[in-house]
């Protein structure tokens, strides 16, 4: 069992703080936590700070039995690669960092299993340069899961996926978080997905934490207005699920200013 | 194998097949390298049958004194120099391409060879030692210090914000021109004797190889290769981009800097001994990449073998083109290497870079 608690976490880029004052209660494994907020709110910077890839203020408290280099894994937004490496090799690469040059048979089996679980076995022999954006994201997920993290920080893992694949990946991640008792933080733009798949949500705007709580408590009319500058409502749809209904952007927001300028 | 069968293979089966093919390719290259080396020893003003050469290699005491002296004392240092220099330059190019994420990177294209050349010429013409303590090795040490300084300039420039792959190449071109101009200035100032040495040296030639030069080059390679091998996974991960490599736990900054220092060692030592031999550092790694991909466990040995093989074969060619004369090898690597390289690019439909 793993727990994670963030205490007054901050990081800066040059002299300006891009994230500051992020504090959470103790998070336990077993479900997904959405990290939501507008573009450039500091979601990626927060993830890098938690993963130890960016220096800064505050504390990351992790409790687990065997802490190692793969305990916290950060999955960055995919940038693509023109390397002459196959998908399979790129997953080996993720698994083998810092260990021997020899790849064991059981490691190969694990990779086969993960590719099969993500339904990308047929991509194994393809070169990275030949993949579409969505395929690259699935490969990136495989590269992350092969490291068997306890705490997983996923930076917009579904942004390039079609609707079917988005739902598939989120369901898959939710199951894997439950089965492996992992803490999974997912930066995500689709608030309906956040409501549907994530137990908790952490909202940040302008590098500051706005709120943390259960998704249905965090994602509401106030959040839409204050954080996203949109006029909307969270309603129940015909299936009884929470669902966002949008009326438009809020006057005085970035978008309307843009329209006025034109 | 048909497409259908390929599809049914699991990823690991595919990976195993690919690894096996790569091991076969590396073995084939090793055999080709040995043959080329033997032919190199057999070729010269007096040609010997290959069988006699291999026999002389295996049983030096059982052959005639004349054959033994020619093979072991006259031709051997040159042939070994071709192997070690080719290996060093190709490895240097491979790792520069890896850490700068740049297919055009090589000691030659980014000015490291030119800098080393200028450092060596400083020693040849002016007798200036940058480190006065080691006057015996003034030429290689000068070359190394200039090459390292240049490598560091490129390294820190490449770390600046907003610097792209293209700007690094532009910086490299600027460095090449700068050091060539400085070299020309030295040539202008040089005495006739020193000028001859510099000119001979700018063309690149193996004929002045000695056992001690071979040994020093081999030591440079022997230092660098184990260090690169230990970082094989991390170096390969760099090719997925900095963000991905960092997320895998690679210390990208430190790995880049260490690699750049080793690269400058590998580039400077050969240049200080045999002059500027271009294109090996660019072409060697590209051929290696086309053959085995970029997993450093295969890419690194393939680059070593490719560089050694190309230079060894070129050494043979330099003796064959005009019988009785040995053309400067740097001239041949450029004239033969480049068309060969282009034919490979056009022949391979697989996209590398």
pLDDT at B6: 47
Backbone angles phi, psi at A159, to 5 degrees: -60, -30
Q: A124 falls in which pLDDT band (50, 70, 90)?
A: very high
pLDDT at B4: 42
pLDDT at B3: 43
Which among B14, B239, B248 has the least Cβ separation from residue A124?
Answer: B14
Angle of helix B138-159 versus helix B252-274 axis, rounded to 10: 150
**Sign, Cα dihedral of A74, A77, A83, A89:** positive
Residue showing tokens 């390298």: B33
Copy the structure tokens of residue B211.
Answer: 């056992």
Residue pLDDT, tens place only, A66-99: 888 899 999 998 778 888 999 999 999 999 998 8
pLDDT beyond 90 at B25? yes
Sequence-distant (6+) residues with CB within 8 A of B170 are none
Widest distance between CA atoms in chain A: 63
Contact call for residues B172 and B154 (beta carbons, < 8 A): yes
Copy the structure tokens of residue B155.
Answer: 């390294």
Share of chain B above pLDDT 90, in %: 40
pLDDT at B131: 65
What stretch of H or E contains B95?
helix B76-100
pLDDT beyond 50 at B105? yes
Could you state, in order of their start, the residue ranges of all structural domains in chain B? 75-347
pLDDT beyond 70 at B76? yes
Query: For the residues B89-108, what does the mean pLDDT come to?
Result: 90
**Interface contacts (A, B; CB < 8 Å):** 106
pLDDT at B87: 97
User: Whole-angstrom Cα distance, residue A102 to residue A107?
Assistant: 10
pLDDT at B169: 81
Share of chain B above pLDDT 70, in %: 92
Copy the structure tokens of residue A60.
Answer: 């990351």
Contact A85 B236 (CB under 8 A): yes
pLDDT at B161: 76
Of A210-224, B14-28, B43-57, B75-89, the one with minimum mean pLDDT is B43-57
Predicted structure pTM score: 0.88
pLDDT at B310: 92
User: Whole-angstrom Cα distance, residue B93 to residue B95?
Assistant: 6
pLDDT at A172: 92
pLDDT beyond 50 at A257? no
- Per-window interface: A 74-93 vs B, CB < 8 A: 74-77, 79-90, 92-93
Contact call for residues B271 and B113 (beta carbons, < 8 A): yes
**A89: chain B residues, CB-CB within 8 Å:** 15, 293, 295
User: Whole-angstrom Cα distance, residue A66 to residue A70?
Assistant: 10
**A112: chain B residues, CB-CB within 8 Å:** 10-12
Query: For the residues A12-21, what does the mean pLDDT come to?
Result: 82
Residue showing tokens 């020693």: B123
Whether A124 and chain B come into contact, CB under 8 Å, resolves to yes
pLDDT at A252: 58
| Cβ neighbourhood burial of A30 (10 Å; 0-12, 13-18, 19+) | middle
Query: For the residues B149-157, what does the mean pLDDT come to?
Result: 88
- Per-window interface: A 22-51 vs B, CB < 8 A: 51
User: Whole-angstrom Cα distance, residue B302 to residue B277?
Assistant: 19
Q: What angle do CA A94, A98, A99 make, to 5 degrees?
A: 95
- CATH superfamily for B75-347 is ABC transporter involved in vitamin B12 uptake, BtuC (1.10.3470.10)
Q: What is the DSSP letter of B136?
A: G
**B290: chain A residues, CB-CB within 8 Å:** 84
pLDDT at A256: 46
Of A8-17, B106-115, B244-253, B313-322, the one with minimum mean pLDDT is A8-17
Q: A261 falls in which pLDDT band (50, 70, 90)?
A: very low
DSSP string, A185-209: EEE-S-HHHHHHH-SEEEEEETTEE
pLDDT at B2: 42
Sequence-distant (6+) residues with CB within 8 A of A101 are B229, B232, B233, B297
Contact B240 A81 (CB under 8 A): yes
pLDDT at B349: 53
Q: B78 falls in which pLDDT band (50, 70, 90)?
A: very high
**Sign, Cα dihedral of B28, B19, B231, B283:** positive
Length of chain B: 353
What stretch of H or E contains A35?
strand A31-36
Rounded mean pLDDT of chain A? 89
Copy the structure tokens of residue A181.
Answer: 């008792």
**B7: chain A residues, CB-CB within 8 Å:** 122
**B23: chain A residues, CB-CB within 8 Å:** none
Contact call for residues A87 and A77 (beta carbons, < 8 A): no
Highest-confidence segment of B103-117, B245-259, B335-349: B245-259
Of A28-32, A184-188, A246-250, the one with minimum mean pLDDT is A246-250
Sequence-distant (6+) residues with CB within 8 A of A64 are A1, A2, A3, A71, A150
User: Whole-angstrom Cα distance, residue B310 to residue B284?
Assistant: 8
Rounded mean pLDDT of chain B? 87
pLDDT beyond 60 at B118? yes
Q: Which of B160, B236, B244 to mutate to test the interface with A (most CBs of A within 10 A)?
A: B244
Q: B175 falls in which pLDDT band (50, 70, 90)?
A: very high
Copy the structure tokens of residue A195.
Answer: 């409501």
Residue pLDDT, tens place only, B207-231: 888 898 999 999 999 999 999 999 9
Q: What is the DSSP letter of B123?
A: I
Whether A104 and chain B come into contact, CB under 8 Å, resolves to no
Q: Which residue has better confidence, B278 or A49?
A: A49
What residue ranges define each of the domains in chain A, with the CATH number in brackets? 3-81+147-219 (3.40.50.300), 220-262 (no CATH)
Residue showing tokens 């065997």: A66
pLDDT at B350: 53
User: Whole-angstrom Cα distance, residue A39 to residue A206?
Assistant: 9
pLDDT beyond 60 at B33? yes
């Amino acid at each position: 069992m793993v727990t994670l608690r963030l205490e007054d976490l901050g990081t800066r880029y040059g002299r300006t703080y891009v994230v500051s004052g992020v504090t959470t209660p103790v998070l336990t494994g077993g479900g997904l936590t959405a990290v939501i907020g507008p573009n450039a709110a500091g979601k990626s910077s927060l993830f890098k700070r938690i993963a130890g890839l960016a220096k800064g203020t505050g504390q990351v408290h992790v409790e687990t039995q065997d802490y190692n280099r793969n305990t916290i894994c950060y999955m960055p937004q995919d940038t693509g690669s023109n390397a002459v490496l196959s998908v399979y090799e790129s997953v080996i690469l993720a698994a083998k960092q810092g260990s021997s040059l020899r790849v064991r048979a059981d490691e190969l089996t694990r990779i086969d299993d993960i590719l099969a679980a993500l339904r990308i076995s047929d991509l194994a022999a393809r070169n990275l340069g030949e993949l579409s954006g969505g395929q690259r994201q699935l490969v990136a997920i495989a590269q992350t899961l092969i490291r068997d993290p306890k705490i997983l920080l996923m930076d917009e893992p579904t942004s390039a996926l079609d609707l079917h694949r988005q739902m598939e990946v989120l369901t898959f991640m939710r199951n894997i978080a439950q089965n492996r008792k992992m803490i999974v933080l997912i930066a995500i733009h689709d608030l309906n997905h956040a409501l549907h798949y994530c137990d908790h949500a952490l909202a940040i705007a302008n590098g500051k934490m706005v709120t943390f709580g259960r998704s249905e408590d965090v994602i509401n009319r106030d959040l839409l207005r204050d954080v996203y500058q949109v006029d909307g409502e969270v309603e129940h749809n015909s299936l009884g699920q929470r669902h966002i209904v949008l009326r438009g952007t809020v006057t005085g927001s970035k978008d309307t200013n843009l329209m006025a300028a034109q | 194998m048909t497409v259908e069968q390929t599809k049914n293979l699991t990823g690991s089966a595919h990976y195993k097949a690919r690894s096996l093919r790569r091991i076969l390719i590396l073995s084939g290259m090793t055999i080709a390298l040995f043959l080329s080396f033997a032919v190199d020893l057999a070729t010269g003003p007096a040609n010997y049958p290959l069988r006699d050469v291999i026999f002389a290699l295996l049983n030096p005491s059982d052959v005639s004194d004349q054959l033994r002296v020619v093979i072991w004392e006259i031709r051997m240092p040159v042939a070994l120099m071709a192997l070690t220099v080719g290996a060093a330059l190709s490895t240097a190019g491979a790792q520069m391409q890896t850490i700068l994420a740049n297919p055009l990177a090589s000691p030659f294209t980014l000015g490291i060879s030119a800098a080393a050349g200028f450092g060596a010429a400083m020693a040849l013409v002016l007798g200036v030692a940058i480190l006065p303590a080691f006057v015996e090795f003034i030429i290689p040490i000068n070359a190394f210090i200039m090459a390292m300084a240049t490598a560091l300039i490129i390294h820190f420039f490449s770390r600046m914000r907003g610097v792209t792959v293209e700007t690094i190449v532009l910086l490299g071109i600027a460095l090449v021109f700068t050091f060539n101009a400085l070299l020309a200035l030295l040539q202008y100032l040089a005495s006739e004797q020193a000028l001859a040495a510099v000119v001979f040296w700018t063309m690149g030639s193996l004929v002045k190889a000695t056992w001690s030069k071979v040994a020093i080059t081999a030591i440079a390679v022997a230092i660098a290769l184990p260090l690169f091998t230990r970082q094989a996974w991390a170096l390969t991960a760099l090719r997925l981009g900095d963000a991905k490599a960092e997320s895998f736990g690679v210390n990208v900054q430190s790995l880049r800097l260490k690699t750049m220092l080793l690269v400058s060692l590998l580039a400077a030592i050969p240049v200080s001994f045999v002059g500027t031999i271009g294109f090996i550092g660019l072409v060697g790694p590209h051929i290696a990449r086309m053959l085995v991909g970029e997993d450093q466990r295969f890419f690194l040995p393939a680059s070593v073998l490719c560089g050694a093989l190309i230079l060894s074969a070129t050494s043979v060619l330099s003796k064959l083109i005009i019988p009785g004369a040995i053309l400067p090898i740097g001239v041949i690597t450029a004239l033969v290497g480049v068309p060969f390289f282009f034919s490979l690019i056009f022949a391979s439909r697989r996209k590398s870079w």
